[in-house]
Amino acid sequence: MKISYHGHSVVQIETKKTKIIIDPFITGNQLTDLDAKDLKVDVILLTHGHNDHVGDTVELAKKNDALVVAPFELATYLGWQGIKTHPMHIGGSHQFEFGTVKLTQAFHGSSFTIEEEQKIVYTGMPAGILFTAEGKTIFHAGDTALFSDLKLIGERNSIDVAFLPIGDNFTMGPEDASVASEWLQAKRVVPIHYNTFPVIEQDPVEFAENLSGKKGLALAVGDSIDLKEI
């Protein structure tokens, strides 16, 4: 299994048979190297309903006939727009053909903003994602504050790579993300959700270098990891 980082919170996963993307905020994301018009995906996993995470989901799902897996309210809202969805909720897991998805808690908000109508659509609870396939597990924390049950997630799962937000202001900052990395006990920790906007500017390399055990890995946009090497 190969995973790659594409700016903000966008993570791609490639198994032997399936192309998966998490939180595909591409259009309007000046830090990404992806072009939504050219992107081929089979599955889209969403942590929550904020615009900078839902991103190009509807367009990608329709173009690729992709399945969208999301928290219940968000999946329902997106399903009304004519795409295939599989709703889940916090604490639930499901075995798909492409791997196992489990949603965890995340302490944040979740809504979709329609600016031209000055309307905010409630999209349920935000989540983190545990994804397991081909004997490897990754954890995408979504947008979250530090919370003590991250320790429980680490104790109950053997996590190969954890993607943690470090931007501060809206999510954990570097200090809290460092604590989260210790609790999760992941083999490698990759910072996400930083530098997209001025208010979340951070130094991902400094964050990674400050983690104990040399497990921090600041991926440049477009960089990938082959999990067979972890």
Asked if 195 contacts 201 with a C-beta cutoff of 8 angstroms, the reply is: yes
- Looking at residue 213, what is its pLDDT? 84
pLDDT at 76 over 90: yes
Percent of the chain with pLDDT over 90: 97
Task: Give the count of beta carbons closer than 10 Å to the beta carbon of residue 223.
Answer: 14
H helical segments located in 22-106: 51-54, 57-64, 72-79
pLDDT at 230 over 90: no
Dmax over Cα atoms in the chain, in whole Å? Answer: 49
pLDDT at 188 over 90: yes
Contacts of 126 (CB under 8 A, 6+ apart): 47, 48, 49, 71, 106, 107, 108, 109, 110, 142, 143, 144
Q: Which CATH class is domain 2-213?
A: alpha beta
Asked if 99 contacts 137 with a C-beta cutoff of 8 angstroms, the reply is: no
CA distances 11 to 5, 7, 119, 135, 219, Å, are 5, 8, 28, 19, 11
Asked if 68 contacts 87 with a C-beta cutoff of 8 angstroms, the reply is: no
Segment 83-93 shows an average pLDDT of 98
Average pLDDT along the chain? 97
Reported as a pLDDT band with limits 50, 70 and 90, residue 138 is: very high
- Looking at residue 229, what is its pLDDT? 84
